[in-house]
Amino acid sequence: MERYDHKMQRLFLRHILASGAAIEADRTQANYLINVLRMSDGDQVLVFNGKDGEWLARLRVEGRRACTIELVEQVRPQTVPADIHYLFAPLKHARLDYMVQKAVEMGASALRPVMTQHTQASRVNLERMEANVIEAAEQCGIISVPDVLEPRSLKELLSGWQMADPARRLLFCDEAAETSNPLPALARLAEQGPQPYALLIGPEGGFSDEERALLRAQPFVTVIPLGPRILRADTAAVAALAVIQATLGDWGPTV
């Protein structure tokens, strides 16, 4: 398993990364590197864009407001993440920020807000979500940056599922499941071999009876519980992604 240098500053860039490239930092990044981190001409950083791996780069500082990032060499090749989409009913700002960051840390490959009958927040700031995704990736040595997808209503999502992504199985975390143990259902899926998954976590008020019935009627849905206790939505995200990664994802014994 490739490791990254915990001591070096990491920076996400929206540019193609290739040997010999020299990239002008945008104003916000230049201010952060020069004035916040107090970095100087010749200092080194690690940069990534989610596509071209991780690169060692050298700063060329030009005054207090500008710098160029010169790529030296690739230090880690691009990784392929576990193919797990994280679908969730939006929460209010601070807890949504936390949940997005933890989903990135836990290896989600895409994040999509899903509007349900009991969803607390009616609007989602996708730019803020993307900023939290990038911050989590920078801080945790992640190279593959998850996609931030447009919100969908639950009914819209389900009705278009088999046309949009027919191979992907949806894992529905149901607090009303008949058992409290998710492992048997996940073990049965593991026996079928690798496949793409999506995880659906509901709002604080839970899914309505109508939504629960609709989900359970879909042939591409597997119902899983999350233990004997009621979890807050942001806690449920970490718990569910952990157990899924351990049984179906890149924590498993075959990886």
pLDDT at residue 205, as a whole number: 83
pLDDT at residue 65, as a whole number: 87
Secondary-structure class of domain 84-247 per CATH: alpha beta
pLDDT at residue 228, as a whole number: 83
Q: Angle of helix 126-139 relative to helix 93-105, nearest 10 degrees?
A: 40
Q: Rounded distance, CA 63 to CA 120, Å?
A: 47
The pTM (predicted TM-score) of the whole model is 0.90
Secondary-structure class of domain 10-76 per CATH: mainly beta
Phi-psi region of 66 (alpha: psi -120 to 50; beta: other; left: phi over 0): beta
pLDDT in tens, the chain (255 residues): 445 556 789 999 999 999 999 999 999 999 999 999 999 999 999 999 999 999 999 999 988 889 999 999 999 999 887 899 999 999 887 889 999 999 999 999 999 999 999 888 778 999 999 999 999 999 999 999 999 999 999 999 999 999 999 999 999 998 877 778 899 999 999 999 889 999 999 988 889 999 999 999 999 999 998 888 888 888 999 999 999 999 998 886 544
Domain residue spans of the chain: 10-76, 84-247
pLDDT at residue 252, as a whole number: 67
Collapse the DSSP code of 115 into the 3-class scheme (helix H, G, I; strand E, B; otherwise coil) and give the result.
Answer: strand
Residues with Cβ < 8 Å from 188, sequence gap 6 or more? Answer: none
Q: How many CA atoms lie within 13 A of 20 on its CB side?
A: 0
